[in-house]
């Protein structure tokens, strides 16, 4: 996703020597470093918790806890890449959550009737409208009024949090629509069968993309990886995707909960039956959003404009890019993702609470930065931001299981953020980026 300079015009693609050995895999060394750090964190906490940290149950909980921040982190990549910042995402999540909760519990049931299937749909659409509109408005102030994004979104942090409070009169609103709650995690999973289908589909898609990428490079005369390297990457993707599905399917639904599910359908549960939860709907939603955001970043004009503007705003404007309108679009995308995140966060709680999204702005920025997004602009990846969110959540969950106090948890997370920025600076200096 990062913008890279072109090579000497006198050097043809075919003249570039193909990498050999481990380098032939073409893996991002910074990505490998983050994966290595994540594995160290997991193994470390596993040792301190007698391996409870790496049980299917905890991995399942870890994934659904990561989704909300990860969704917003994908949008924060675009914001930071364009040399801006958004401090209002936690408060924007709260106001979207409040709006959706009020619609589900007070307005739409009276209008459509209690239990109407349209309630959750209209509530989600309303949340998306609220989030996108607020995001676009903040982007307009940054782009067209030239108010620094730090100031605009700092004001938004205070404003939207308290707008959410007034919408609900400071009360916890719930319970939310049962169908809406499937986006929260444990209340909405695909089950073992559909999880395997999704996992196989993602695996096939990844392998097809590998083949297509190789063909495109060969067709344009660019060096291609050795067959063994392509096969190794395909094997890695397959093991990671299907292994993840296997772990989620290994987390069994408690027998009493399973009995209630059968009773709700008017059936009797077979004796000794065991079923796994499978892939949470919220995690599937994150996968879909990640794919869309990656396509936008890599394959669309909007994505090229975003990274070109972040790399050199003056040159981008002189080349004909409407950087003001682009800023509005980037913040509108961020607002829409805050609304989607509000769906996941409130559905997981099955209600709207006043403290929902508190400090999420710091977690989201930290996830993007830890994931390799440069605060100087122009560089960042969607998958890096998601991995950064997973690292953050792993630290917090692991420390909670070990018994570390909340204040110390925040100290550790803050220290990790500063360390991540330092490592990123050193890495980019050595790499000449």
Rg, Å, the chain Cα set: 23
pLDDT for 3 equals 44
Give the global pTM.
0.89
pLDDT < 70 stretches in the chain: 1-28, 272, 431-433
CATH code of 20-188+280-431, in short, is: 1.10.3470
Residue 50 has φ and ψ, to the nearest 5°, of: 55, 40
Share the mean pLDDT of the chain: 86
Structure tokens at 267: 């059936």
DSSP 190-248: -HHHHHHHHHHHHHHHHHHHHHHHHHHHHHTT-----HHHHHHHHHHHHHHHHHHHHHH
| Residue-range domain boundaries for the chain | 20-188+280-431
Which pLDDT score, from 0 to 100, does residue 338 have?
Answer: 96
Q: Cα–Cα distance between 408 and 119 in angstroms, integer?
A: 42
pLDDT for the residue numbered 114? 80
Count of Cβ atoms closer than 10 Å to residue 21 Cβ: 8
What span, in angstroms and rounded, lies between the C-alpha atoms of 389 and 66? 6
């Amino acid at each position: 996703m990062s913008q890279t300079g072109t090579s000497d015009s006198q050097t043809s693609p075919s003249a570039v020597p193909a990498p050999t050995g481990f380098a032939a895999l073409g893996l991002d060394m910074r990505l490998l470093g983050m994966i290595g750090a994540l594995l160290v964190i997991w193994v470390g906490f596993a040792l301190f918790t007698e391996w409870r940290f790496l049980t299917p149950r905890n991995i399942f909980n870890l994934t659904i806890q990561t989704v909300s921040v990860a969704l917003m982190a994908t949008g924060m990549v675009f914001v930071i890449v364009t040399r801006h910042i958004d401090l209002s995402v936690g408060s924007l999540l709260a106001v979207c959550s409040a709006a959706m909760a009020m619609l589900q519990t007070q307005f739409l049931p009276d209008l459509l009737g209690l239990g109407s299937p349209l309630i959750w749909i209209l509530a989600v659409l309303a949340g998306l409208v609220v989030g996108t509109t607020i995001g676009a408005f903040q982007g307009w102030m940054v782009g067209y009024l030239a108010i620094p994004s730090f100031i605009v979104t700092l004001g938004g942090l205070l404003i939207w949090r308290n707008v959410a409070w007034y919408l609900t009169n400071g009360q916890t609103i719930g319970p939310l629509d049962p169908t809406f709650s499937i986006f929260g995690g444990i209340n909405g999973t695909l089950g073992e069968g559909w999880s395997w289908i999704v996992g196989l589909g993602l695996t096939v898609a990844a392998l097809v993309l590998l083949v297509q990428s190789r063909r495109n490079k060969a067709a344009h005369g660019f060096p291609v990886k050795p067959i063994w390297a392509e096969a190794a990457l395909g094997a890695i993707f397959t093991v990671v995707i299907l292994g993840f599905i296997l772990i989620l399917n290994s987390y069994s639904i408690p027998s009493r909960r399973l009995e209630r599910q059968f009773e709700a359908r008017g059936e009797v549960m077979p004796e000794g039956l065991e079923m796994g939860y499978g892939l949470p709907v919220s995690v599937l939603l994150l996968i879909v959003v990640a794919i869309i955001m990656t396509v936008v970043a890599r394959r669309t004009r909007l994505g090229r404009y975003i990274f070109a503007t972040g790399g050199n705003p003056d040159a981008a404007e002189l080349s004909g890019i409407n950087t003001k309108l682009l800023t509005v679009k980037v913040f509108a995308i961020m607002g829409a993702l805050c609304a989607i995140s509000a769906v996941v966060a409130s559905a997981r709680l099955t209600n709207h609470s006043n403290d929902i999204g508190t400090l999420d702005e710091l977690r989201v920025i930290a996830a993007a930065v830890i994931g390799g997004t440069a605060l100087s602009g122009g560089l960042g990846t969607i998958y890096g931001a998601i991995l950064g969110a997973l690292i953050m959540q792993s630290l917090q969950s692991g420390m909670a299981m070990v018994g570390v106090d909340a204040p110390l948890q925040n100290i550790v997370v803050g220290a990790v953020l500063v360390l991540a920025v330092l490592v990123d600076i050193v890495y980019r200096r050595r790499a000449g980026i």
